[in-house]
Amino acid sequence: MFLDRLLNQGSSPVLDQWLRFTDARQRMLGEDIVNASTPNYVQKDLSLEQFQSLLAKKVAEQDEAGPGGVSFDDISMDIQHPRRGMLFHDGNNRSMDQLMSDQAKNALMHSLAVEMLREQYSMMEMALRERVS
């Protein structure tokens, strides 16, 4: 009970959801890259803007409800089919440059969230051990 409350306050649930999102998106981007030359393959992606909007709403709810009062587990990640890039004769709308750029940005966001969560857990550990850095 104490640990649940401790882990579900502050930015921990936000960072946890961010990691889940970037992980799922990285898999989809990898699948899009692998299938870039597959005829009639339709690209899949997760909307970063939609995810950020849903996350911002949850953070606002958390600010009003207090620590541990809001669950972040119900944030949905709907698969979208982006229509950017040139449509080729084989029905594919591939853009390898765009896919690689999206993958690199997503990997950086994931690394940032991991580092922030690691730092937060490190501070919690020091507080639980009653040590000052």
Per-domain residue ranges of the chain:
2-128
Q: What is the pLDDT of residues 36-60, one digit of tens each?
A: 888 888 888 888 889 989 888 888 8
Output the CA torsion sign for 38, 40, 41, 46.
positive
Please report where in the chains the tokens 């765009």 appear, as a residue. 98
pTM for this structure? Answer: 0.77
Q: What is the pLDDT of residues 47-102, one digit of tens each?
A: 888 998 988 888 888 778 766 667 777 777 778 777 666 556 565 666 788 889 99
Token digits of residue 123? 């501070």
Residue 62, judged by CB atoms within 10 A of its CB (0-12, 13-18, 19+), counts as buried
